[in-house]
């Protein structure tokens, strides 16, 4: 049963929700943004007009569902490597080991934890230490 509101913003959202339900065959997720609703509907319409998804895209979707979606490759550093960063006038040296990282005599599994400890703020460890 279609949802109905009086103001234009709700009418537009209601139209998108109804279109989603018609195209996808089930209701949209409860808190999905209007922008994402629009993009999914456009994608679905385009794929239907082009007789479905391409073989290449279906393969990518299958691979993503088994490998994890958009998981970037983990940075791997060779044991014996060293990161040096100056922060607030103090030099910080981190050594790479086979188990992770050593900083100030303590073992850590993540550069991000070290960066967070040094700065007191949430940092990407590789970014903090200048690794791309």
- The domain spans of the chain are 8-67, 82-128
Determine the pLDDT at residue 12.
Answer: 87
Which tens digit of pLDDT belongs to each residue from 106-122?
A: 999 999 999 999 999 99
Give me the long-range contacts of 79-85 (CB less than 8 A, separation at least 24).
83/111, 83/129, 83/130, 83/131, 85/118, 85/128, 85/129, 85/130
Look at the block and give the residue holding tokens 């006038």.
89
* Model confidence pLDDT, tens digit, residues 62-78: 887 776 655 566 667 89
> For 8-37, what is the mean pLDDT?
88
- pLDDT number for residue 54: 82
Residue 119 pLDDT: 94
State the pTM of this model: 0.47
Which SS3 state, helix, strand or coil, does residue 85 take? strand
């Amino acid at each position: 049963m279609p949802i109905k509101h009086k103001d234009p913003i709700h009418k537009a959202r209601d139209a998108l929700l109804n279109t989603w339900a018609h195209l996808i065959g089930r209701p949209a997720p409860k808190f999905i943004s209007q922008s994402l609703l629009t993009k999914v509907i456009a994608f679905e319409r385009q794929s239907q007009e082009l007789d479905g998804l391409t073989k290449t895209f279906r393969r990518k979707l299958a691979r993503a569902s088994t490998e994890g979606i958009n998981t970037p490759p983990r940075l791997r550093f060779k044991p014996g490597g060293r990161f040096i960063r100056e922060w607030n006038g103090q030099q910080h040296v981190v050594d790479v080991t086979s188990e992770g990282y050593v900083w100030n005599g303590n073992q850590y599994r993540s550069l991000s934890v070290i960066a967070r400890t040094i700065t007191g703020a949430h940092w990407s460890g590789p970014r903090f230490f200048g690794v791309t």
